[in-house]
Chain A
């Protein structure tokens, strides 16, 4: 499978727990994006990396959220002290840096905070 891979696909956690999601982009893609999607809404941008550098973070990303891409390959998104409002689908996408490129998305991690 050469697409974007996300793990786990589903996560149920208790409020206050920490969770970590992983994204493996398409291998030659140097850009990696994280989005969050709630029911009935379009995806909302959270953050993105070019290689290992985190170039932009959304104001939506509170200090409980942290993302890394240590070697410019896979990325992790951690949410500390989860809240019920964090329940959403977390989508990862990757692309090549360039003019005519498009982002390819993974199947997402659905987080439910109970």
Chain B
């Protein structure tokens, strides 16, 4: 069975601080996909990034960066120079690759609530 663990329930930082959100996953599949979603107070889940299990390259997008390490089954998310607008709940999710190797249903972690204050 698949499982995603986000051990940090809530993190509070002051604006401009860097913050890392942890994600640890479990799966027996050799091919899988990892995702991060942001859920602001409005409630809509916003896609941030997808990573394939065979691509361990780290990725940077503006102030966001992701560190994928298969050896530790982790897919951590770092926000550099945090801003108040980053305040939201962040979810890590895992999808198995079914049949033809396509992504399918998502297994989510319980989320990390990030509060950025001035």
Contact = CB atoms under 8 A, between A and B. Distances in A.
Interface of A: 33, 35, 40-45, 48, 56, 89, 91, 93, 95, 97-108, 110
Contacts of B106: 33, 35, 43, 45, 103
Given A42-B109, A42-B110, A107-B42, A95 B103 contact: yes
B81 interface: no
Given A41-B111, A45-B105, 10 more contacts: A42-B91, A42-B111, A43-B91, A91-B45, A95-B103, A98-B102, A99-B52, A99-B103, A102-B35, A105-B46
Contacts of A103: 47, 106
Contact of A56 (B35, B45, B105, B111): B105
B94 to A, nearest CB: 11
A111 to B, nearest CB: 13
A93 B111 CA distance: 18
Nearest to B111: A42
B43 interface: yes
B44 A106 contact: yes
B50 A102 contact: yes
